[in-house]
Structure 1
Amino acid sequence: MRASRLAVVAAFLPWAFPAAAAPPSAWLDFTVSSSAILAACRQARAKTEERLDALGRLPAAQASFQDSLLAFSNVISDLNDSISGPSFLGEVSTDPDVRNAGHACDTDIARFMVEAYSREDLYTALKAFAASKPALQGEDARLLEKTLLAFKRNGLELPARKRVEVQELKKRIVELETEFRKALSEDKTTVAFAEAQLDGLPDDFRRRLPREGDKRLVSLDYPDYFPFMENARDPDARRELEARFNNRGGEANSRRLAETLALRRRAATLLGYPSHAAYVLEERMAKTPQAAASFLAGLQTKLQELARGELAQLAAMKQAELGDKRGGPIRAWDWRYYHNQLMKTRYQVDEEKIKEYFPLNIVTGGMLQIYQQLLGVAFQEVRPADAWHPDVQLYRVADSESGKLIGHFYLDLFPREGKYKHAAAFSLVQGRLLPDGSYQRPVSAMVANFNKPDKGRPSLLRHGEVETYFHEFGHLMHQVLTRAKYQRFSGTSVARDFVEAPSQMLENWVWRPEVLARLSGFYRDFTQTLPDELLRKMIAAKNVGSGLKYLRQDFFAAVDLQYHGPDEQEPNALYGRLLEEISLIPMTPGTRPEAGFGHLMSGYDAAYYGYLWSEVFAQDMFSRFEREGVMNGAVGREYRRLILEPGGSVEEAASLRAFLGREPDDEAFLRSIGLKPGSAGSGSTAAPR
C-alpha cells in the first residue's frame, strides 16, 4: 500500500527534471540589482516614448489597422512585458533595495501609462482609423472599441485644462496606491505574549514562535494571526492582537486612503461621471453602482436572518465559558474563536487534526493531477528553477494530447520578510500574438504564505488553505492557458466582477469526497487518506457560520461602494458604522481597519462586490460539473476552451451562455451558501443581454 501510494504521488510530480538553462521567457531576469531595475525601467520608458512619438506623427490618411491600432497595442504590450519582472520583484525579493526599486519602477510606469493614454496625437490617429469604418470583427473590433474608450476615460474628450488635471490626479493616485501597499508589505509588527496567554494554541504553532525573553512573538501575518484568533483562549490576548492587526498601516495609510478617495471623486466628476463607482462600473458586468448595491442589499437581508441565529449561538458559548462578568455580545476578537470552538465541540471538526492530512507536497501533487485531468494539460517540474528564491518551484505546461508547450508557472509558497503577505497569482509574461505570427507563451507565478516545514514536520495546510491553493492555481491556469490575440484581453484581463468566477468555481473541488481522497495523506504515513468519518463531518459542517462569513464579504463590498460614491465621508467612521450595521459585529474602538484594506488600493476600488457577484456565476458553472461529473475531462476541456482560453476577448456574458447553454441564474449560488433558491436582489444574476 505505501509503495503504491507514493507511486501515485510521483506520477504527478515528475522526477525527470529538464534543465533550466534560461528563464522561461527572454523578458525575465531575476538576478538583477536595484540599479539595473531602475536603469531598465528608464530605458523601457524612453524606448516606448520614442515608438509612441512615431505613431503620433502618422498622417491620418495612413492610419491603417497595422500602422495605428495594432502598432499601439504592440508598443504597450512590449512595455508591460519588459517591466513586469522587475515590478514583480518588488513583491517577492529578499533584498529591500530590489523591492524598493521594483515598487519605484511600477509607480513610474503606471504614471507613464496615464500620460500615454492622455496623448492627443495618439487619440487623433486612432480616431482617424476608426473614422475610416474598418471592417473589423471579433477580437479586432473589440480591441478598437476598448482602446478608444480607454483614451476617452482618461479625459481625451475634455478641454485641455481639465484633461491635464485628470492626468495629474491619476498620477498622484498611483503614488498613493504604491505607498499604501508598501506600508502593508513592509510591516514587521510583532506582539509579545507570555506563555500563559498562548493557552489553547497548538504545540507546533507555539514552538515555531520566536522568543523575546520569557515571551513569544506573534506577527500580524496570516499564518500567525488566524490560528491565534481561532485558538487562543485568553480574550484579552485575542483583543490585543486583533487591535494591532486592524491598525496595520496606521494613520499614514488612513490619510493616504482619504486623499485617494477625494482624488478619485474629483477625477470622476471632471470626466462627467456622478461618482468614481459609476466610472469604474461602466466597464463591468454590473454596469451601474445601483445594480451592484441592489444585489448586496438583497443578499444582506437574507444573510442577516442566518447570522443573527449564529451570533446567538456563539454568544451562548461565550457566556458559558466566561460567565456573567465577561460574557455578553460577540466582539471582533471573539467570533473566529467561538466559531472554531463550535466546529470542534458540536461538529467534531478540528482544523488542527484535519491539517495533519494535508501535507503541502501531497496537496500539490494531488492538485496538479486533478487540474491535468480536468483541463487536458500536463505539468513537469523544471529543476533548477533559477528563480528569485531557493524555495520557488518552476513548472512547464503542455497540452496533454499534442504535447505542445503552452507556458510556465512558478510556485512561491512560503512566507519571508518583505514578501507580499497574501495569496495571489501574478502574470509575469502575458500570452499574445507576436508581430512575427508566433504566440508568446505565458509565464505566471503564484505567491502564498503557507507555513514552512518545521523540525521534521512538513508544511501542513488547513482545509481553508487548501481551498485558497485551488483558487489561486485557478487564476494561474486562466493566465497560462489563454489564447487571446491581444495582451489587453490575455488571461485574467476580464471584467473585474467576473475575474474571480473561474477560480471560485474550482474551490468546489476541495469539498468533494472523491477529490479530497486524492489530496490528502497523513503526514506520518501518506497511505492514510482523510478518514471517511472526518470527511463526512467536514462536509456536513460546510455552511456552519455561512451567514457571518458572507455578511463580512457583503460589508467589504458595501463600504467599498460607499467610499467611492458621490459624497465624501470620513473613512474610519463610515467603516465602523457599516461594519456593525451589516456584519452585526462592531468595530473595536481605537482601530483603523480601513488602513489595512489593501483591495481599495490594488485595483479593486469600487469592485470588491465582484467577489460575491462573480460567485453567482462560479456556482452556476459548477452546477454543470455536478450534473455531468466533477472529473469529467470533456466538460473540463470545454470549460478551458470557452471560459479560460478567450480571456477578455469575448464578452463574459457570452462565454457564460456558451458554457451553460442558457442564461445564468443564482439558484446554485444560494443553495451553496445554505439559502433557499430565489432572487437575492435585483441584479443578482445580472449577466448583460
Structure 2
Amino acid sequence: MKKLALVIVLLSLMNCSEKEIEKIAVELPKDNPFNVALNESFDYAKVTGESIESYVDYEIEQAVQTIEVIKSQSTPSLENTFLPFDAVYNKLSQAGSNSFMLYWTSTDSITRVKGIEYSQKVDSISTAISSDKELFKQFETFAASEAYSKLNNRRQRFVDDIIDNFKQSGINLADDKLDKVKTLKAEISDLTSQYSINMNTANSVLTLDEAGADGLPESLKEKYKTENSTYEIPAQPSTRGPVMDNATNPETRKAYQMLYSNRGADKNLEILNQLVKKRYQLGQLMGYKSYAEYNLVPKMAKNPETVWKFVNDLIAESKEKAIQDIEVLKTARKKLDNISIDEDLNAWDLAYYKNQILKTEYQVDAEKIREYLPMSACLSGMFELYQELLDVEFKKIENASVWHEDVLAYEVFENDKLKGRFFLDLYPRPNKETWFYAVPLSSGKQMEDGYEVPVSMLLGNFTKGTDELPSMITHGELSTLFHEFGHIMDKMSYEGEYSMQSDTKRDFVEAMSQIFENWIWDYDVLSTFAKHYETGEVLPKELFNSMVNAKNVSSGISAQGSLRNCIYDMNLYDKYNPEQPIDTDQLWRDVDNQLGVMDWYVEGTHPQACWIHINTHPVYYYGYLWSEVYAQDMFTVFEKNGLRNQETGVRYRKLILANGSQRTVDEAVEEFLGRPMNNKAYVKSLGLE
C-alpha cells in the first residue's frame, strides 16, 4: 500500500469527512525511494538529499493535518484519537530515525547534511505536537470517560503513557514557559548534532616509527603502514584496543590516549558547557531541582536518590577488588619493566599491563585468539545460536538496496511469517559514526491491512579485512557484537498492537542485550564457530579454560571505571549550580578523589568532549549497570535449563523481548524468573561474592 492509501485508511478509522480526506491526500512522488508498500524495504541505494527533504516534508504534512482532525473529534475515543496519534508517532519516528541513520552512515555529503537537518525538523514538529494543549485535552477527556475504564490493562497503559509523555513535555506549563521549553529543546538538539559532527570528523592520527609501533599487532601495522615506512593510525574505537593493549612503548600509549581523548575538544568543551546549562534550565522550567531529576521520572529508577544509592552501593562492593587489581598490575609492571611498586600507575598503563598478565600468567593472548574469530564465522555462529534459541530464521536479502556496498540485509521469520528486517553496517569508513549501536529504524505496529514489521540496523566499527587477511575480531569485540545484536533481536521480537509500546524503560533496555554476552563464555557454543582463519583448527579447550580463569582479571578496576562514568554523568546533570558552573576537567579529578582507587584522569585530555552518552544520552550511564543486574539474574534461568534450551529461549523472547512497555518490567521479569529479581548473580559475575 502506498503512502496515499495509508493516509486514507487512517482517516477512515477516524470517521473523517470526504472533504477532510481530500485535504490531506497529498501524494509522495512515486519515484521517491521512501515510497514503498507495507513491509517493502526503503530503496536506500537511491536516497538523495532531495528525497529525504520530500519524504520528511510529506510525513510532517500528514502528521500536522491528522493532528488537526484528531482535535476536531467531538467525542474522543481510543479509535479516533489514540490510534491515529500512534500512527502519527510511528511515521514521524520512521522519518526521523531513517534521516538520522543516513546522516551517520551515508557516503554522500549532501545526504548527510540533509539527514541531520531533516531529523532535527522531525524533532521540532514532535516537540510542537507534544506541546499542543488542544490535543492533550482530547486525551484527558477520553481518560476521564467510561470507555477508558473498560479498557484492558495493556490499553490503559498505552493511554496513560501517552498522557504521561505529554506531561513530561511540559504540557501543563503556562504558555510562556512552554515556549521556552520548546526553544531549549531545539537548541539542545542543534548542540548535540554539532557535538557529534565535531567528534566524528576529528580525524586524529598517530604517526609512529618502527620503535613507536613495537608490540602492535602485525595486522594493524600492515593496515596503516605508509610508503615512508611509518604507521599512521587513526584514533578511533576500532584501533583503541589493539594500540592500548599492545604498544610496548608507554609514550605511544600516552600519545594515543591524548589523541583519542581529545577528539573534537577544541569545539565540544564549550558545546558541553552549553548543553549542561540548557538541560539544567529545562529541568528548572519543568519544576525540578535538576535535569537528572526531570530526566529520571519515566525511568525505572524514577529519581536521583535511587541512582546515587545504587551507584554508591556498587562502589562499596567493588572498591576493595579494584585496589587489589591495582597492586596486581603494579607487580606485573615491576616484573616486566622493573618499575617500582611505589610508583603510581598511569591510566594509559591499565590495559597494557592487564594484557601482559593475561599473556604471561594465563597464556591468553587477545591477538592470538582473534585468529580464531574471523568475522564471517562469528556472524554465522551468532546467527545460528540466536535462531535456534529464539526459534526464528534469518534469510539474507540478495542484492538488497543499501547505502554502502559493505552493508548486509536480512529478514527474520517465525514459522515462515515475516517478523522483521535488519541491516549490518559493520566496518569504519570516512565520515561514518565511529561507535557501536543498534539503531531502530521502524517499530512494529498493527496496521489496517496487516502488521508492519520492525526494522533495525547494527552500526559497527570492527576492523575490516584486507587483501591478505580477513576481518577478525577479539573476544571482547565478539562480546560487543553479541550485545548489539541482542538489541536487534529485542526490536525484531516486538509484536504489540501499538508502535508507542515497542520501547521498554530506558534503564532496562541494555539488559535484554547484555544477557546474550554470556553465551560466548560457553565452550560448547563458542567452539561451533571459533576456528582458526587459516587452519580451521577449533579454539583449543585449554585456551578457553584459561580465558575463563582470567575473566575477572581487573574486574574491580572495570567496575570502578564504569562507576566513575556514572558519577561523572550524574554530577553533570544532578549537581549543576548556575552560580558556580562545573569545570568539566576538574570534575574528573574530583571523581577520582572520591573513588580513592587511582588517578584515571590524564592531564591535558578532555574525554568528555568525545563521549556520546553525555551528549545524546544524558543521565543514562548508570543504566548499563542497572540493566546488568537484571541481565545476570535472568541468565540464571538459562543456566538452570540449558543455554540452548529453546523452550526457555522462546519464553524469554515472548515475555521479555516482545514486551516493550505493554507490561511493567518487574512484572515481566518476575514471571520469567518465577521470583522477584536480586543482584546475587551480578555480584558473582564480577568475582566479588
Q: Residue 23 of structure 2 corresponds to which residue in structure 1?
A: none
Q: Residue 572 of structure 1 corresponds to which residue in structure 2?
A: 585
Q: Residue 649 of structure 2 corresponds to which residue in structure 1?
A: 636
Change in Cα spacing, 1:192 to 1:580, as seen in structure 2 (3 Å) is farther
Query: CA–CA distance in 1 between the matches of 2:657 and 2:451?
Result: 16
Pairwise CA distance, 1:23:
9.6
8 Å CA contact retained: 2:439, 2:458 = yes
Q: Residue 499 of structure 1 corresponds to which residue in structure 2?
A: 509
Query: Residues 573-617 of structure 1: CA distance to partner in whole angstroms, max 9, x if unpaired?
Result: 112321453362331111111111111122x21121010011000
Query: Residues 350-400 of structure 1: CA distance to partner in whole angstroms, max 9, x if unpaired?
Result: 01111111111111111111111100001111211221111111111111x
Return the match for 2:612 from 576, 581, 598.
598
Change in Cα spacing, 1:333 to 1:410, as seen in structure 2 (3 Å) is same
Pairwise CA distance, 1:554:
0.8
Return the match for 2:51 from 26, 32, 36.
36
Pairwise CA distance, 1:164:
1.1
Aligned residue for 1:427, secondary structure, equals: strand
Return the letter of the residue paired with 2:58: Q
Query: CA–CA distance in 1 between the matches of 2:593 and 2:240?
Result: 22
Q: Residue 7 of structure 1 corresponds to which residue in structure 2?
A: none
Aligned residue for 1:548, secondary structure, equals: helix
8 Å CA contact retained: 1:318, 1:328 = no
Aligned residue for 2:231, secondary structure, equals: strand
8 Å CA contact retained: 1:382, 1:395 = yes
Query: Residues 480-532 of structure 1: CA distance to partner in whole angstroms, max 9, x if unpaired?
Result: 11112111121xx1111100001111100000111111131110133x21001
Aligned pair 1:540/2:554, yes or no? no
Return the match for 1:472 from 477, 484, 495.
484
Aligned pair 1:271/2:286, yes or no? yes
Pairwise CA distance, 1:323:
4.0
Return the match for 1:230 from 234, 245, 263.
245
Aligned residues: 647
Q: Mapping of 1:312-323 within 5 angstroms?
A: 312-323=327-338
Q: Residue 309 of structure 2 corresponds to which residue in structure 1?
A: 294
8 Å CA contact retained: 2:261, 2:607 = yes
Q: Residue 626 of structure 1 corresponds to which residue in structure 2?
A: 639
TM-score, normalised to structure 2, is: 0.91
Query: Residues 191-216 of structure 1: CA distance to partner in whole angstroms, max 9, x if unpaired?
Result: 21112100011111111114273421
Query: CA–CA distance in 1 between the matches of 2:328 and 2:108?
Result: 48
Aligned pair 1:529/2:538, yes or no? yes
Q: Residue 197 of structure 1 corresponds to which residue in structure 2?
A: 212
Return the match for 1:353 from 358, 362, 368.
368
Q: Residue 430 of structure 1 corresponds to which residue in structure 2?
A: 443
Aligned pair 1:392/2:392, yes or no? no
Query: CA–CA distance in 1 between the matches of 2:657 and 2:640?
Result: 20
Query: Residues 313-351 of structure 1: CA distance to partner in whole angstroms, max 9, x if unpaired?
Result: 212333344445998211121111111111101111001
Q: Residue 528 of structure 2 corresponds to which residue in structure 1?
A: 518
Aligned pair 1:176/2:191, yes or no? yes
Query: CA–CA distance in 1 between the matches of 2:323 and 2:403?
Result: 48
Q: Residue 14 of structure 1 corresponds to which residue in structure 2?
A: none
Q: Residue 103 of structure 1 corresponds to which residue in structure 2?
A: 116
Q: Residue 228 of structure 2 corresponds to which residue in structure 1?
A: 213
Aligned pair 1:609/2:618, yes or no? no
Q: Residue 82 of structure 2 corresponds to which residue in structure 1?
A: 69
Change in Cα spacing, 1:144 to 1:212, as seen in structure 2 (3 Å) is farther
Pairwise CA distance, 1:556:
0.9
Aligned pair 1:439/2:448, yes or no? no
RMSD between aligned residues? 1.8
Change in Cα spacing, 1:324 to 1:357, as seen in structure 2 (3 Å) is closer
Change in Cα spacing, 1:215 to 1:456, as seen in structure 2 (3 Å) is closer
Return the letter of the residue paired with 2:201: E
- Percent identity of equivalent pairs: 31
Return the letter of the residue paired with 2:453: R
Q: Residue 587 of structure 1 corresponds to which residue in structure 2?
A: 601
Pairwise CA distance, 1:131:
2.1
Q: Residue 15 of structure 1 corresponds to which residue in structure 2?
A: none
Q: Residue 15 of structure 2 corresponds to which residue in structure 1?
A: none
8 Å CA contact retained: 1:27, 1:85 = no
8 Å CA contact retained: 1:513, 1:535 = yes
Query: CA–CA distance in 2 between the matches of 1:595 and 1:108?
Result: 25
Aligned pair 1:406/2:419, yes or no? yes
Return the match for 2:138 from 78, 100, 125.
125
Worse overlay, 617-626 or 84-93: 84-93
Query: Residues 253-278 of structure 1: CA distance to partner in whole angstroms, max 9, x if unpaired?
Result: 11111111111111111211121111
Return the letter of the residue paired with 1:483: E
8 Å CA contact retained: 2:490, 2:658 = yes
Aligned residue for 1:195, secondary structure, equals: coil
Pairwise CA distance, 1:667:
0.5
Gaps of 5+ in 1: 1-21, 677-689
Query: Residues 3-35 of structure 1: CA distance to partner in whole angstroms, max 9, x if unpaired?
Result: xxxxxxxxxxxxxxxxxxx89944623121112
Query: Residues 147-172 of structure 1: CA distance to partner in whole angstroms, max 9, x if unpaired?
Result: 11111111111111111111111111
Change in Cα spacing, 1:553 to 1:325, as seen in structure 2 (3 Å) is closer
Q: Residue 686 of structure 1 corresponds to which residue in structure 2?
A: none
Change in Cα spacing, 1:515 to 1:580, as seen in structure 2 (3 Å) is farther
Q: Mapping of 1:89-168 within 5 angstroms?
A: 89-133=102-146, 134=148, 135-168=150-183
8 Å CA contact retained: 2:77, 2:142 = yes
Query: Residues 660-687 of structure 1: CA distance to partner in whole angstroms, max 9, x if unpaired?
Result: 01100011111011011xxxxxxxxxxx
Query: CA–CA distance in 2 between the matches of 1:326 and 1:307?
Result: 16
Query: CA–CA distance in 1 between the matches of 2:527 and 2:229?
Result: 42
8 Å CA contact retained: 1:24, 1:408 = no
Query: Residues 292-312 of structure 1: CA distance to partner in whole angstroms, max 9, x if unpaired?
Result: 111111111221101111111
8 Å CA contact retained: 1:360, 1:461 = yes
8 Å CA contact retained: 1:446, 1:476 = yes
Aligned residue for 1:299, secondary structure, equals: helix
Query: CA–CA distance in 1 between the matches of 2:637 and 2:163?
Result: 37
Aligned pair 1:563/2:576, yes or no? no
Aligned residue for 1:198, secondary structure, equals: coil
Aligned residue for 2:506, secondary structure, equals: coil
Query: Residues 528-560 of structure 1: CA distance to partner in whole angstroms, max 9, x if unpaired?
Result: 210011011011111111011111111111111
Change in Cα spacing, 1:662 to 1:36, as seen in structure 2 (3 Å) is same
Query: CA–CA distance in 1 between the matches of 2:39 and 2:258?
Result: 44
Query: CA–CA distance in 1 between the matches of 2:418 and 2:85?
Result: 28
Q: Residue 687 of structure 1 corresponds to which residue in structure 2?
A: none
Q: Mapping of 1:481-496 within 5 angstroms?
A: 481-490=493-502, 493-496=503-506
Query: CA–CA distance in 1 between the matches of 2:634 and 2:541?
Result: 28
Pairwise CA distance, 1:469:
0.8
Gaps of 5+ in 2: 1-35
Worse overlay, 562-571 or 467-476: 562-571
Aligned pair 1:306/2:316, yes or no? no
8 Å CA contact retained: 1:580, 1:587 = no
